[in-house]
Structures are given as structure tokens and as C-alpha cells.
């Protein structure tokens, strides 16, 4: 029997999910930053700034940004590590990685960054290499999350940390109801108007609901190579930051 997984609310063969997710991001890549600003009313920029505070990165550090997309987190980390450090931008989607590279080039960030087209479930990096690994709004799109978490734990140095920024489960019932109504009503409409693609943004809303909640993701991290996990809720739990430590 073919093993199944979720693509939004649909069940699909596991081997099909990467292709389907790839088609979503091929479709939205050119308007991704515009849609992020519209969907979050610009709040995603604050969430990313807070995320950086948990990276522990210093000048000369080495970082890996998974599902790097258009490079928002990576650009900021490149400034933190300076000319003597390195940030590797990695994404499974060539369209997103290309736009990220163009964006960082335009900002004059190219001396301390590298690019890697790679699957988070099978990272092409040696063990214990990075001081910090980040993934922002990408884990929910990974087919085998446990395997990806184990890979993140493998490539981060002992004493380093993995920082996961992702949509999560609101902690306030009223916020949860408003958030649900907004996600399933407004997002597809904005996707149609701004990116001419309602279906992709409907999938993104569904993928958020299928993602593990704060406690479940914390347990998954502890089961897959992390020695300690801190969880920080932002905006009433609409977004959560999980910081995994490897001792």
C-alpha cells in the first residue's frame, strides 16, 4: 500500500508531496514578499527580528538558513556574522532560491553567503558544522518533519542551536476564531488579487492547520536529537519560535 501524507487537507502519496509543494512555490515566488507583507500586515518582519535574538550568532559564526526562500532571515544573519562568518542559504525550490540570491545581491550581500539547492530531509553538509540552523515558515511544508529535525540536529555543533519560526496554535480562543476566519476567507482572496493564485494560498492556510502544535513539535525535537527545547509564543501563539539545543 502506498504511504500517504498530508498536502493541506488532502491526503497524497508521500513521494508526491515535494512535487506539489514545489509547484506552489514556483507559482508564488515572484510575489512572495508582497504577499507576506499583505497577509501579515507587515508583522512577519517583527517575528523575524525576534527570531534573530534567539540565534546566538556572533561575528565569525557559521549559520545555515533552511527553506531560506527570499532570504529575509539570511540577510540579517549575514550582517550578524560579518565578513569573517558565513551564512548558507538553502532551499529545495530553485525559483525561491534564485529570487533570494537576487535580493541579497541587490543589498550588496555576497562576500559571506553561499547557496545550496537541497532537501531539508537529506542535508549535504558534514555533521557538527554550524553554530546555528534556522528555518522560517518552512517546516510545515516538509514531508518527513522528524527526519528533517534529525538532520538539523546532526549538522549543528554541540553547544549550538536550531531556531524554528513557524505558525502554530493560538493560545486565545477568540484569537483562534478570528485567525481561522481570516485564513480561510481573506488569504485565498488576496492570493487571487495579488498573485493570481487562490489555490496556493488556500493550501498555505491548510498547511498551517495541519502543522504540529507547540507541545507536539517540542516533543518531536526532543525525540530527534535535541537535548533541550525552549518554546516562545508570539502574537498569542499565532506564531511560535522553538529553540533546540544540542549539548
Please tell me the pTM assigned to this model.
Answer: 0.92
Q: Is residue 180 a part of any domain in this protein?
A: no
- 182 occurs within a structural domain: no
User: Are the C-beta atoms of residues 182 and 115 closer than 8 Å to each other?
Assistant: no
Whether residue 148 lies inside any domain: the answer is yes
10-residue mean pLDDT series, the chain (247 residues): 75 80 74 76 93 98 96 97 98 93 96 97 98 96 96 98 96 93 82 75 83 97 98 97 98
In a domain, 47, yes or no: yes
- Please state, in angstroms and as integers, the Cα–Cα distance from residue 66 to each residue in 72, 78, 117, 148, 222, following that order: 12, 14, 10, 10, 19
CA distance 188 to 21: 16
Residue 190 lies in a domain: no
pLDDT at position 25 is 77
Handedness of CA 208, 213, 216, 222 (dihedral sign): positive
Those residues whose C-beta lies under 8 Å from the C-beta of residue 246, and which sit 6 or more positions away, are: 153, 156, 157, 158, 159, 160, 161, 162, 225, 226, 227
21 φ, ψ to 5°? -65, -40
Q: Is residue 208 part of a domain?
A: yes
Annotated binding site for S-adenosyl-L-methionine: 70, 91, 119-120
Residue ranges of the annotated binding site are 70, 91, 119-120
d(CA 126, CA 123): 8
Whether 232 maps to a domain, the answer reads yes
Residue 173: what pLDDT? 94
CATH number at residue 85: 3.40.50.150
Structural domain total, the chain = 1
Map residue 2 onto helix, strand or coil. coil
Evaluate whether 120 touches 66 at the Cβ level (below 8 Å): yes
Domain with 107, as residue range(s), is: 4-172+200-245
In a domain, 192, yes or no: no
Amino acid at each position: 500500500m502506498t504511504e500517504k501524507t498530508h498536502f493541506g487537507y488532502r491526503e497524497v502519496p508521500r513521494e508526491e508531496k515535494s512535487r506539489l509543494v514545489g509547484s506552489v512555490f514556483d507559482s508564488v515566488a515572484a510575489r512572495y514578499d508582497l504577499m507576506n507583507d499583505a497577509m501579515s500586515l507587515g508583522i512577519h518582519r517583527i517575528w523575524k527580528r525576534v527570531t534573530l535574538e534567539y540565534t546566538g550568532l556572533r561575528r565569525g559564526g557559521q549559520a545555515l538558513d533552511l527553506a531560506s526562500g527570499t532570504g529575509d532571515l539570511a540577510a540579517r544573519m549575514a550582517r550578524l556574522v560579518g565578513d569573517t562568518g558565513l551564512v548558507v542559504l538553502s532551499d529545495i525550490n530553485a525559483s525561491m532560491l534564485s529570487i533570494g540570491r537576487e535580493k541579497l545581491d541587490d543589498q550588496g550581500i555576497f562576500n559571506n553567503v553561499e547557496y545550496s539547492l537541497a532537501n531539508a530531509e537529506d542535508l549535504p553538509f558534514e555533521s557538527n558544522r554550524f553554530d546555528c540552523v534556522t528555518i522560517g515558515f518552512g517546516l510545515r511544508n516538509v514531508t518527513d518533519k522528524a527526519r528533517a529535525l534529525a538532520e538539523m540536529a546532526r549538522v549543528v555543533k554541540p553547544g549550538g542551536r536550531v531556531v524554528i519560526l513557524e505558525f502554530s496554535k493560538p493560545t486565545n480562543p477568540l484569537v483562534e476564531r478570528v485567525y481561522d476566519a481570516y485564513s480561510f476567507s481573506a488569504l485565498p482572496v488576496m492570493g487571487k488579487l495579488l498573485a493570481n493564485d487562490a489555490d496556493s494560498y488556500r493550501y498555505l492556510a491548510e498547511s498551517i492547520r495541519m502543522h504540529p502544535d507547540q507541545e507536539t513539535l517540542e516533543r518531536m525535537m526532543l525525540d530527534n536529537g535535541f537535548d533541550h527545547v525552549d518554546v516562545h509564543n508570539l502574537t498569542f501563539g499565532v506564531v511560535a519560535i522553538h529553540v533546540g539545543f544540542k549539548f
